[in-house]
């Protein structure tokens, strides 16, 4: 291990980070993009101190560098770079692990063991460490070594096959990275928080095997459980929430805008029929034989007014009708404004005379304490290496030696 001075825990972010229930928890993040980065984004917005541990520039393959605005512009995160393939880099990383609570990684199964930073190595320096390994298919099984992305996990987890197909009959391409964000990122963050509670103040750590495909399976579990229990061939149009009935569908308005209708409860459906002038169908909500006729009348009714006119008439009248908003529309939506969903952000790279200012989705989930607060992202290429390794107990001389060797940056 490297030479050390007195070891002190890394202090919470203070003014440069949010408060929250995870304040005082330190997370080392070895991922640059994808579900693991989504996980640590959530943990940081809940108050954890998250340290992004990237690759040293010029040593090995260059990592993916997301755009400056991605993953909330690395809001509140700290950064360092370590060559984990170098024995000195490995030891420096393990020095960080001694004062950490969680390590999040997204390498293929077996890679961290080959690097010498697998769970056994982490536990040898910190018996309480929680290792969260986030992969496409998990640490074992016949698909464990497969490469993949969001669409692949949605495919094997049943999501694509239960979603309305394209005009050519093929499964659709999702408009959001549901597998990465929910099947992987939220799954991993939830597992980490549960492990922290289970560990308590002085309990042992654990290795979390987060499979994104497993997370998608859970997201699709209503349909899968129905098939397992009844043998039903679940898929698009199978039941009320997959397009079988006109009460749960989308409709085009006169101006080309779209409305989403989710009138599942009979009372909401009756309100909708009345306000659309389609009272003749009020008692036929779940009658399969007439659904084509119901849809035809609903389409004709919605085509008589512009989208926002229908929203004004229907949305507040217990009909479960909402507009289909584009990203350009929702960023100025009154509801999100009232909920302080977007925050002002600024960043400044070296040499820039003025900061770049923009808005971003803020800490919007329940229990996040920095909702609506402006954030200064600082220099997106800065390094917190000296501060981090000093807090980990390395002497200034040793940090300088590691820098000179190109092991840290």
Q: What amino acid positions are annotated as catalytic residues?
A: 149, 180
Residue 209 is assigned to a structural domain of this protein: yes
Whether residues 93 and 130 fall in one domain: yes
Q: Which pLDDT score, from 0 to 100, does residue 64 have?
A: 77
Asked which of 298, 323, 348 is the last residue of a domain, the reply is 323
Whether residues 271 and 206 fall in one domain: no
The position carrying tokens 């679940």 is 234
Q: How far apart, in whole angstroms, are the C-alpha atoms of residue 29 and residue 50?
A: 7
Distance of CA 90 to the CA centre of its chain: 28
Q: Which pLDDT score, from 0 to 100, does residue 159 have?
A: 96
Whether residues 196 and 259 fall in one domain: no
Whether residues 215 and 248 fall in one domain: no
Whether residues 190 and 250 fall in one domain: no
Whether residues 180 and 249 fall in one domain: no
Query: Do residues 144 and 172 make contact, with C-beta atoms less than 8 angstroms apart?
Result: no
Supply 141's token pair.
């099984």
Query: Do residues 52 and 383 make contact, with C-beta atoms less than 8 angstroms apart?
Result: no
Q: Which pLDDT score, from 0 to 100, does residue 92 have?
A: 97
CATH code where residue 308 lies: 3.30.1540.10
Model confidence pLDDT, tens digit, residues 347-364? 988 888 889 999 999 999
Residue 146 is assigned to a structural domain of this protein: yes
Asked which of 297, 323, 349 is the last residue of a domain, the reply is 323
Instruction: Give the range of the structural domain holding residue 213, as residue numbers without chain letter.
Output: 14-219+380-405
Query: Do residues 181 and 38 make contact, with C-beta atoms less than 8 angstroms apart?
Result: yes
- Give the residues of the chain that fall short of pLDDT 50: 1-15
Whether residues 254 and 395 fall in one domain: no
Whether residues 204 and 255 fall in one domain: no
Whether residues 185 and 67 fall in one domain: yes
Model confidence pLDDT, tens digit, residues 243-267? 999 999 999 999 999 999 999 999 9
SS3 sequence of 60-128: CCCCCCCCCCHHHHHCCCEEEEECCCCHHHHHHHHHHHCCCCEEEECCCCCHHHHHCCCHHHHHHHCCC
Whether residues 282 and 154 fall in one domain: no
pTM for this predicted structure? 0.92
Number of structural domains the chain divides into: 2
Asked which of 303, 323, 343 is the last residue of a domain, the reply is 323
Residue 3 is assigned to a structural domain of this protein: no
Sheet holding 78-81, edge to edge: 78-81, 49-54, 26-29, 102-105, 130-135, 206-211
CATH code where residue 20 lies: 3.40.50.10540
Taking phi over 0 as left and psi of -120 to 50 as alpha, with beta for the rest, 43 belongs to alpha
Whether residues 127 and 252 fall in one domain: no
């Amino acid at each position: 291990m490297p030479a050390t001075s007195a070891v002190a825990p890394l202090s919470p972010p203070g003014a440069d980070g949010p408060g929250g229930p995870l304040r005082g928890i330190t997370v080392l993040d070895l991922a640059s993009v994808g579900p693991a980065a989504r996980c640590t984004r959530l943990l940081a917005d809940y108050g954890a101190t998250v340290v992004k541990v990237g690759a040293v520039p010029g040593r090995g393959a260059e990592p993916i560098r997301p755009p400056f605005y991605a993953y909330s512009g690395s809001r509140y995160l700290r950064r360092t770079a370590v060559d984990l393939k170098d024995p000195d880099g490995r030891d420096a990383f393990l020095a960080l692990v001694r004062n950490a609570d969680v390590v999040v990684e997204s390498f293929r199964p077996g890679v961290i063991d080959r690097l010498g930073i697998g769970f056994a190595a982490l536990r040898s320096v910190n018996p309480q460490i929680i290792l969260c390994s986030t992969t496409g298919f998990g640490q074992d099984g016949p698909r464990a070594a497969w490469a993949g992305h969001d669409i692949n996990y949605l495919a094997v987890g049943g999501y694509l096959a239960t979603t309305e197909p394209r005009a050519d009959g093929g499964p659709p391409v999702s408009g959001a990275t549901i597998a990465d964000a929910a099947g992987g990122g939220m799954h991993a963050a939830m597992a980490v928080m549960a492990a922290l509670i289970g560990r308590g103040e002085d309990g042992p750590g654990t290795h979390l095997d987060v499979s994104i495909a497993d997370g998608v399976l859970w997201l699709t579990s209503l349909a899968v459980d129905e098939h397992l229990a009844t043998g039903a061939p679940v898929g698009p149009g199978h039941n009320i929430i997959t397009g079988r009935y006109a009460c749960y569908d989308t409709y085009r308005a006169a101006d080309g805008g779209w409305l989403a209708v989710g009138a599942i409860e009979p009372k909401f459906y009756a309100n909708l029929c009345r306000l659309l002038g389609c009272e003749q169908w009020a008692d036929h909500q779940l009658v399969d034989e007439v659904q084509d006729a119901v849809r035809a009348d609903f389409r004709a009714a919605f085509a008589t007014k512009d989208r926002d006119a229908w929203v004004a008439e229907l949305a507040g009248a217990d009909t479960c009708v909402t507009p289909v908003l584009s990203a350009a529309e929702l960023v100025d939506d009154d509801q999100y404004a009232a909920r302080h969903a977007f925050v002002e952000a600024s960043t400044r790279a070296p040499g820039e005379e003025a900061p770049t200012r923009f808005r971003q989705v803020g800490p919007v989930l329940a229990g996040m304490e920095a909702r609506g607060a402006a954030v200064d992202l600082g220099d997106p290429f800065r390094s917190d290496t000296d501060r981090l390794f000093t807090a980990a107990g390395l002497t200034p001389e040793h940090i300088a030696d590691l820098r000179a060797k190109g092991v840290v940056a």
